Chains A and B, each alone.
Chain A
Amino acid sequence: MYDFAYHKPTTVADAVKILSADSDARPISGGQTLLPALKHRLNKPTSVVDLSGIAELRGIKRDGNKVVIGAMTRHADVASSAEVKAAIPALAQLASTIGDNQVRNRGTIGGSVSNNDPAADYPSAVLALNATIVTSKRRIAADDFFQGMFTTALDAGELLVAVEFPIPEKAGYAKMKNPASRYVMAGAFVAKTGGQVRVAINGAAPCVFRQAEMEAALTASWSPAAVAGVVQPADDMNSDIHGSAEYRAHLVTVMAKRAVAAAG
């Protein structure tokens, strides 16, 4: 790992100041993705800005018909939160399956969502639940946030502060994990919120995406059988040593069926 300068600000404003002044500075939250990348020298930041000293970024609260989760909230905290389990059990279940116990004790929702790894879990929940991303300067709708592989709407120096999840009537998540790495091969998050159905697919393509045909099928009839007949085209699916595009496309339908069954 190349060496870097280390900063530990205590407010979002101070963190933004450091990140805005230096385009080669990188924020670190749990570090479960960034540190391995630094070890491989895939990344050479001049300075690393540790967000763990910023109290305002941490915590889970119920706000009317929403659950608001601070960026520095760890996966283990979301998984065990009584508030999340009561309001959006599928989100707590998703958090309980990210990586392993040790990763969940360090990794954060803000880090996962900002990084937008194609194989990450949280982006599917953010997109299917139509969450709002609250940043250091604005609010961004989920549909506008995820823009491509490892790419989001966040500007340089802009920090994700919290994610606001509307509470759905029904929601479910299912994924096929790579048996060695535990990363998602294909996953589906299905949700019905205020009568509107959204289906988000992660792991299968370069970026999380909404499956419109499945949304229409579930709007007509909310049941695993409704999505069973929807064929996901293989054209834009990832293809690598872990699975072909055709295999992933097939998994998308299987995972969507399981997610609907889990949602009940």
Chain B
Amino acid sequence: MPQVTLTVNGKSHTVEVEARTLLVELLREKLRLTGTHVGCDTSQCGACVVQMNGDSVKSCTTLALQAEGATVTTIEGLAKADGTLHPMQEAFREYHALQCGFCTPGMVMSAIDLVEKHPQGLSEHEIREGLEGNLCRCTGYHNIVKAIGAAQEVMHGRSATLAPAHAAE
């Protein structure tokens, strides 16, 4: 059986997979990192988004073998060892940017990539456009967009702390 070697959340793994094994199956079933979800399985919903070599990708539409040598970050790899949340996670919590939570890992991973690639800052419209590949069936996106808008200020160092949700009203 073929083998794939990759780094996930800072830890190197060498895993035997079938050629047809998807990256999301490797993450969930072999490495037991079940924070990455499978929603539609047809590359539309974005619940499976992870970062691979610094880009957000749909792990249900990537073969595990295509991740050979790659550096992958999943939702489990964001918080610090002491439990401090990533600013994007903290913003999703503060702004109540979720209801059922199923889409949240993919939303957070897409949002981080979006913010990192736009150091000049994103308008509300650009945030909405940038979430094109992630579907949420609960929230109507409103609080997700607000959370990302607040998180980008912290991520780019323009604000030391997250603006509280009530101040944004």
Contacts and interface: CB of A to CB of B under 8 A. Distances in A.
A52 interface: yes
Interface stretch (B42-50, B86-94, B158-166): B42-50
A101 B113 contact: yes
Contact of B20 (A3, A36, A102): A3
Contacts, number: 72
A69 B133 CA distance: 25
B65 A100 contact: no
A198 to B, nearest CB: 29
Contacts of B68: 8
Contacts of B62: 31, 35, 106
A38 B133 CA distance: 21
A37 to B, nearest CB: 11
Contact of B43 (A6, A101, A103): A103
A102 B46 contact: yes
B18 interface: yes
A245 B58 CA distance: 33
B42 A100 contact: no
B63 A102 contact: no
Interface string B133-145: 1100000000000
Contact of A106 (B20, B42, B61, B134): B61
Contact of B41 (A6, A39, A103, A182): A39
A5 B2 CA distance: 9
Interface size classification for chain A:
20 to 34
A82 interface: no
B56 A31 contact: no
A35 B22 CA distance: 9
Interface string A23-40: 000001001100110110
Interface in B47-67: 49, 55-58, 61-63, 65-66
B56 A36 contact: no
Contact of A102 (B19, B42, B133): B133
A101 B63 CA distance: 18
Contact of B132 (A6, A76, A105, A182): A182
B132 A32 contact: no
Given A31-B62, A35-B62, A48-B19, A76 B55 contact: yes
A4 B155 CA distance: 43
A16 B130 CA distance: 37
Contacts of B61: 31-32, 35-36, 106
A50 B63 CA distance: 10
A162 to B, nearest CB: 22
Given A3-B18, A36-B43, A105 B56 contact: yes
Contacts of B44: 181
A103 B113 CA distance: 13
A100 B106 CA distance: 13
A52 B66 contact: yes
Interface in B115-169: 130, 132-134
B132 A36 contact: no
Given A6-B19, A32-B61, A103 B133 contact: yes
B114 interface: yes
Nearest to B50: A102
A5 B19 contact: yes
A84 B65 CA distance: 31
B110 interface: yes
Interface of A: 1-6, 8, 28, 31-32, 35-36, 38-39, 48, 50, 52, 76, 99-103, 105-106, 181-182
21 contacts: A6-B65, A8-B65, A31-B62, A32-B43, A35-B61, A36-B43, A36-B61, A38-B20, A39-B41, A48-B63, A50-B63, A52-B66, A99-B133, A100-B134, A101-B113, A102-B43, A102-B46, A102-B57, A103-B58, A106-B57, A106-B61
Going nearest first, the 4 A-B pairs with the smallest beta carbon separation are A100-B133, A6-B19, A105-B55, A100-B132
